[in-house]
Chains A and B, each alone.
Chain A
Amino acid sequence: MAVFPLRLVPPNTKIDFIGRRKAAFVFSALLMAVSLVFFAVKGLNYGIDFKGGILMEVRTPGAADIDALRKRLSGLGLGEVALQEFGQSTDVLIRIERQPGGEKGQMIAVVKVKEALGRDVASYRRTEFVGPKVGGELIQAGILAVVLSLLAIMVYVWFRFEWQFSIGAIVALTHDVVATIGLFSVLGLEFNLATVAAILTIAGYSINDTVVVFDRIRENLRKFKTMQIEALLNLSLNQTLSRTLLTSVTTLLALLAIYIFGGAVIRDFGFALIWGVLVGTYSSIFVASPVVMMLKIRESITSGSIGGGETGQENPAE
């Protein structure tokens, strides 16, 4: 019965999460600082979705001789050409920077590359080019999507809870988004449309986690009208801890399956999501709740009523 049922968290934990908020604050501040500095100094490795340019995935008859391929392509005068093995030794990913001459320029370059590679390539697995116009639009759409969803989530939480919760949620979400962008900058991973999708999914996952904790805080605020706010937050976090970890584990299991078995094309996407689940879980415990406390949620509750949810008609005694 030791494994069955398995308990990730023993019942009635009394971990002092709120007491460690200073340490958490320092950690988060560092995380943000590193992310922002890297973003400002090193920037992001934008993929062709945003930067424009050409991407090809080719399969060679035998193990690919990347140096030979590179030599052949760099002779074409197409500017920066990057080659890397992709997934397996016969597959090569070729990235070529955006060509001058607008949309037509990209098209011509694709033909040139195909001619140059000739019989060295058994098949073209992927050919993509994005002209300068679309790239710019996709950047705008991406930023707009992230900002809009953060705002929409903030409004929803504000509507269902108190404004303190909505601020707490948005701080935690921004934290996650910045940390993810930071990760991409630090590791130099390609930042493309799929990454934006990953960021939004991370936001979705993180807010899910945060709302569960908030829901419990709201319930406890109503139940224990005189409890110290620190104790109350700790109680709420401990009560939801088992769920937080269980869901994180099931989600991580699924994401690991994507990361390991899902193929080279979505490996980075899976990686971003795994990071997001970790950061999102951390932020809903150590960022969102302390922010709610700093904004003096208790005072605003006792002076007014708290909206949403069902009222505790059950006996609160435990």
Chain B
Amino acid sequence: MIHFSRWKIILIFALCTLGLVLAAPNLFSKQQLAGFPGWVPKSTLNLGLDLRGGSHLLLEVDLKAAYKERLTNLVQSIRAELRRERIGYSRIGATGEQALVVIRDPDKKARRGRGGQTNIERATKLLRRLEPGTEVDVSGARITIKYTVDERRVRDNQVLQQSIEIVRRRVDELGTTEPSIQRQGADRILLQVPGLDDPERLKKLLGKTAKMTFHLLDPRFPLGTPPPAVAPPGSFLAKHRPDKRQERQGSPPRLTLVLKKRVVVSGEHLVDARAAYDTGRPVVSFRFNTIGARKFGRVTQENVGKPFAILLDKEVISAPVIQGPILGGSGIITGGFTVQETQDLSLLLRAGALPAPMTILEERTVGPELGADSIAAGQIACIIGFVLVLIFMVMAYGIFGVFANIALVLNMTLLLGGLSLLQATLTLPGIAGIVLTIGMAVDANVLIFERIREEVASGRTPLSSVDAGYRRALTTIIDANLTTLIAAIILFEFGSGPVKGFAVTLSIGLVTSMFTAIMVTRLIVVTYLRRRRLQALPI
């Protein structure tokens, strides 16, 4: 334990230097770092949102709703197919996780041509071909169709990826810096936006699916007529957005409109949307792509003088009358908006619709002030803890305490270097982890020094005491630190956010403290003893 081969000494120096180099970028500002040549390591500690301020939002994508919608579409195409093939059904619809059709006269054979197959046989064949990734089950006259497990997984994955993309676009539109958007588990998105201390607008934007569709009104129920209790077939009821100005005057409650189910054109064909003014009123101007423009042009041409409705998330936001054919593919949406509302609406339309609704499960927002206060408090705690331990170690072990302190300083540098290298996020509990590491890091040295004291007491020579002290303390140090490391790693696995940051600093701190105690202080102690040739150890 008192011999160091040359390569080992070189390795120790190399590692310590590496730690210093990796920790060094933290001393400089981002601007300064950018000016350095390319080979200089530039990774610095990432500050967690609790330190730099910002908003952390955990979002959940409603995959079930997306599936349900897909099932509804499937039912519609089943209905169309059966009609085309003239196969009668007594019931059709989506029930729970599957689509169900009950065929009328299942055993009746088709009159001519069709190969003499029964209705149920023809229907089954038809539905099997309808869409890939579906499973068809037949029992009696009932046919159930559902998507396979694999297909659902693939689609769920797509929905989540799309949602992430849309969230990214919406957040980017807000002009925030360096948002981080991560997938979490099967149906969650973790959104972290540094520097955003009032996320109410973002939350409002994320809460909207922003599915926009254009519909014609049911001609049987023109604007102003009372709506029926139940929508007639092929139509549906939609409420008009509450008009703030009308509400203030205490005038009529929300209007209910009867709209044709058929979608004239939808938001997916939009290429641009902007907040604008039309004769002084805030409006949203939009532009369709060629397909959208053609559809929109045709419908407006055929329905001049009739009203149509623009729906956003199943709510009518505007129901203007078509003044004339709109062939250029661009138009404006009016509807008693405020300026802020037109800005939000155009942003949502530009970013596109979410494939499924989203809810915010959790929000944690820290203002920049508190973040700065926490950093300041953390720094003070670090420095004071550090100084107290340094003083105590010198008081307890004299010159050996100084050695341990050199190791402690190095340990902190290595810890900083390690955190920078891993691009770990430093959080407030993480700072607590560093301070705790300061206190616990000296433990390895304490174990060794106590052991050396014992060996000295048993009458050994200084060198032999040091040798035996290190050798015997080694297994203890490893056992003791590994068990703590186990707890820290499990904490990392199960903890979230700031707690993870704590586990990271604690774990790295344990590893670096073992290294500095076993290698660095030993090298210092041995070198010191060789130079001084002491008769008695000052420990």
Q: Using a CB–CB distance below 8 Å, which chain A residues touch chain B?
A: 3-8, 11-12, 57, 59, 102-104, 106-107, 110-111, 114, 123-131, 133-134, 138, 141-142, 144-145, 148-149, 152-153, 156-157, 160, 193-194, 196-197, 200-201, 203-205, 207-209, 211-212, 214-216, 219, 239-240, 242-243, 246-247, 249-258, 260-263, 265-266, 269-270, 273, 308-310, 314, 318
Complex-state Cα separation, A3 to B503, whole angstroms: 36
- Decide if A250 touches B389 in the complex (CB within 8 Å): yes
Expressed in whole angstroms, the minimum distance between the Cβ of B362 and any Cβ of chain A is: 5
- Decide if B443 touches A258 in the complex (CB within 8 Å): no
Does B483 have its Cβ within 8 Å of any Cβ on chain A?
Answer: yes
> Within 8 Å CB of B359, what residues of A?
102-104, 131
- B374-418 CB mask vs A (1 if < 8 Å, else 0) is 100110111011101100110111100100000000000000000
- Decide if A6 touches B395 in the complex (CB within 8 Å): yes
- Decide if A254 touches B487 in the complex (CB within 8 Å): no
- Decide if B483 touches A107 in the complex (CB within 8 Å): no
The chain B residue sitting closest to A254, CB to CB, is B439
> Within 8 Å CB of B432, what residues of A?
258, 262, 266, 269-270, 273
The chain B residue sitting closest to A270, CB to CB, is B432
Question: A11-B457, A107-B203 in contact; A138/B496 too (CB < 8 A)?
Answer: yes
**Count of chain A to chain B residue pairs whose CB atoms are closer than 8 Å in the complex:** 259
Complex-state Cα separation, A216 to B451, whole angstroms: 11
Expressed in whole angstroms, the minimum distance between the Cβ of B469 and any Cβ of chain A is: 12
Q: Which 4 A-B pairs have the closest CB atoms?
A: A254-B439, A263-B377, A257-B385, A251-B439
- B345-385 CB mask vs A (1 if < 8 Å, else 0) is 00000000000000111111111011001100110111011
Expressed in whole angstroms, the minimum distance between the Cβ of A126 and any Cβ of chain B is: 5
> Within 8 Å CB of A255, what residues of B?
385, 435-436, 439
The chain A residue sitting closest to B396, CB to CB, is A6
Complex-state Cα separation, A7 to B482, whole angstroms: 28
Contact residue range for chain B? 35 or more
Does B306 have its Cβ within 8 Å of any Cβ on chain A?
Answer: no
Expressed in whole angstroms, the minimum distance between the Cβ of A4 and any Cβ of chain B is: 6
Complex-state Cα separation, A260 to B428, whole angstroms: 15
- Decide if A194 touches B429 in the complex (CB within 8 Å): yes
| Interface CB pairs A-B, < 8 A, 27 | A7-B396, A102-B359, A123-B367, A124-B367, A125-B366, A125-B367, A125-B370, A127-B363, A129-B362, A131-B359, A133-B361, A134-B361, A157-B483, A197-B503, A200-B490, A204-B483, A208-B440, A212-B476, A214-B479, A215-B476, A246-B396, A250-B439, A254-B389, A257-B381, A261-B381, A263-B377, A266-B432
> Within 8 Å CB of A253, what residues of B?
385, 388-389, 392, 439
- B418-449 CB mask vs A (1 if < 8 Å, else 0) is 00000000001101100110111011001100
Most chain B CB within 10 A, of A142, A197, A219, is at A197
Complex-state Cα separation, A286 to B395, whole angstroms: 28
- Decide if A207 touches B491 in the complex (CB within 8 Å): no
> Within 8 Å CB of B447, what residues of A?
212, 243
Complex-state Cα separation, A9 to B436, whole angstroms: 23
Complex-state Cα separation, A201 to B388, whole angstroms: 21
Q: Which listed residue (A128, A194, A219, A250) contacts B365, Cβ 8 A?
A: A128
Does B304 have its Cβ within 8 Å of any Cβ on chain A?
Answer: no
Expressed in whole angstroms, the minimum distance between the Cβ of B512 and any Cβ of chain A is: 16
> Within 8 Å CB of B361, what residues of A?
103, 130-131, 133-134
Most chain A CB within 10 A, of B388, B392, B472, B480, is at B480
- Decide if A126 touches B499 in the complex (CB within 8 Å): no
Interface SS of chain A: helix, strand, loop or mixed?
helix
> Within 8 Å CB of A208, what residues of B?
440, 443, 480-481, 483-484
Complex-state Cα separation, A6 to B475, whole angstroms: 27
Question: A11-B457, A194-B499, A258-B385 in contact; A133/B487 too (CB < 8 A)?
Answer: no
> Within 8 Å CB of A310, what residues of B?
471-472, 475
> Within 8 Å CB of A254, what residues of B?
385-386, 388-389, 435-436, 438-440
Complex-state Cα separation, A138 to B359, whole angstroms: 18
- B220-258 CB mask vs A (1 if < 8 Å, else 0) is 000000000000000000000000000000000000000
> Within 8 Å CB of B498, what residues of A?
193-194
> Within 8 Å CB of A103, what residues of B?
60, 359-361
- Decide if B377 touches A261 in the complex (CB within 8 Å): yes
> Within 8 Å CB of B453, what residues of A?
11, 242
- Decide if B365 touches A211 in the complex (CB within 8 Å): no
Q: Which listed residue (B364, B397, B499) contacts A128, Cβ 8 A?
A: B364
Expressed in whole angstroms, the minimum distance between the Cβ of A287 and any Cβ of chain B is: 16
Complex-state Cα separation, A124 to B368, whole angstroms: 9
Q: Which listed residue (B393, B442, B457, B483) contacts A153, Cβ 8 A?
A: B483
Complex-state Cα separation, A200 to B481, whole angstroms: 14
- Decide if A124 touches B198 in the complex (CB within 8 Å): yes
Complex-state Cα separation, A265 to B432, whole angstroms: 11
The chain A residue sitting closest to B364, CB to CB, is A128
- Decide if A207 touches B487 in the complex (CB within 8 Å): yes
> Within 8 Å CB of A5, what residues of B?
395-398, 401, 539
Expressed in whole angstroms, the minimum distance between the Cβ of B427 and any Cβ of chain A is: 10
